[in-house]
């Protein structure tokens, strides 16, 4: 098994180990009985007699019905318990927040109503109109996840940060609101033992609490097109302080991007690009040869 890097992972591993133990025990029991019977009751040389003809054995039939029934019930109850503990049944992401639960329901209804004439686009509009969904009070951090051919986009509604990699603080409960903009994808982090479908027009949710700092792969687990195999990114688990620093940096660079978009009006291309020349590996001489804004402005 890969590293268990979330608080939920040991639950899944416990279930997995129990099922493997049961299956191994059953395999040895059934195969053992088969091998013993094949050897012990095999035809001996010169013996042409038949074995006794037996029809029905009620106690035996009850036994081999009861044992699997009990095993299936145990596995069923245990896996249900794990699923529930991981928040799988808690569709709206929290037990005790009636009002936002209601809001979620209504939002769902609005999407359903609006999606009748043109299911995909209007469903999307209804959701885009409300980019900051109700924050479940039980989660420390809510992240909107969008799957699209062929990438993941992470949006932090509280800070407004958008990123192509998921950053999360260590030891904090993270709630993902998962969506898709084209076809069905699936959000999978093996080290967290979580996997959830991303479905266009329908928000699915999932919770986890990262327990070991590090970088883990995020993989699309639903065949979604030609480049499905390349639909990968990372989740970066960092200390809450590092996470806050990252959020601040993202906000800063987003501001810078805005400046980039605003400034060209006031500066010539040469002046404007000068600070970036090193980054772009372009020499000042080449920059100086750029056309003057008066001549080029309209064509851009």
Residue 144 or 238: the one with the smaller Cβ distance to Cu ion is 144
Residue 123 or 147: the one with the smaller Cβ distance to Cu ion is 147
Pairing status of strand 141-148 against strand 173-180:
parallel
Alpha carbon 207 to chain centroid, angstroms:
9
Q: Which residues bind Cu ion (CB under 5 A)?
A: 185, 220, 224, 231
Query: Measured from the CB of residue 199, what is the shortest distance to Cu ion in angstroms?
Result: 12
Q: How far apart are CA 289 and CA 221, in angstroms?
A: 49
Query: Measured from the CB of residue 176, what is the shortest distance to Cu ion in angstroms?
Result: 15
Residue 168 or 221: the one with the smaller Cβ distance to Cu ion is 221
Query: Measured from the CB of residue 124, what is the shortest distance to Cu ion in angstroms?
Result: 17
Query: Measured from the CB of residue 216, what is the shortest distance to Cu ion in angstroms?
Result: 18
Query: Measured from the CB of residue 183, what is the shortest distance to Cu ion in angstroms?
Result: 7
Q: How far is CA 291 from CA 276, 286, 295, in A?
A: 17, 11, 7
Residue 148 or 212: the one with the smaller Cβ distance to Cu ion is 148
State the chain's maximal CA–CA distance in angstroms: 109
Q: How far is CA 56 from CA 45, 59, 60, 257, in A?
A: 29, 9, 9, 79
CB 207 within 8 Å of CB 175: yes
Of 142, 137, 127, 147, nearest to 206 by C-alpha is 142
Residue 167 or 185: the one with the smaller Cβ distance to Cu ion is 185
């Amino acid at each position: 098994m890969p590293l268990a890097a979330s608080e939920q992972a040991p639950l899944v591993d416990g279930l997995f180990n129990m099922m493997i133990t049961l299956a191994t025990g059953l395999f040895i029991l059934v195969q053992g009985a088969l091998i013993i019977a094949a050897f012990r009751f095999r035809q001996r040389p010169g013996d042409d007699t038949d074995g006794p003809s037996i029809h029905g054995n009620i106690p035996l039939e009850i036994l081999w019905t009861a044992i699997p029934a009990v095993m299936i019930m145990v596995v069923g109850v245990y896996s249900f318990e794990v699923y529930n503990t991981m928040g799988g049944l808690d569709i709206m992401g929290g037990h005790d927040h009636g009002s936002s639960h209601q809001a979620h329901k209504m939002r769902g209804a609005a999407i359903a109503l609006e999606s009748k004439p043109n299911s995909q686009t209007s469903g999307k509009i209804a959701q885009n109109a409300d980019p900051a969904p109700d924050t479940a009070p039980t989660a420390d951090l809510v992240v909107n996840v969008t799957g699209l051919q062929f990438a993941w986009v992470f949006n932090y509604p509280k800070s407004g940060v958008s990123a192509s990699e998921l950053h999360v603080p260590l030891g904090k409960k993270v709630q993902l609101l998962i969506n898709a903009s084209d076809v069905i994808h699936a959000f999978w982090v093996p080290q967290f033992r979580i996997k959830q479908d991303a479905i266009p027009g329908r928000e699915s949710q999932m919770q986890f609490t990262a327990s070991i700092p590090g970088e883990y792969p995020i993989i699309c687990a639903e065949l979604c097109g030609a480049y499905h195999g390349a639909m990968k990114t990372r989740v970066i688990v960092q200390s809450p302080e590092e996470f806050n620093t990252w959020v601040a940096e993202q906000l800063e660079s987003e501001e810078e991007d805005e400046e980039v978009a605003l400034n060209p009006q006031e500066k010539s291309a040469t002046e404007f690009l000068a600070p970036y020349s090193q980054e772009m590996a372009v020499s000042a001489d080449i920059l100086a040869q750029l056309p003057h804004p008066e001549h080029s402005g309209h064509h851009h």
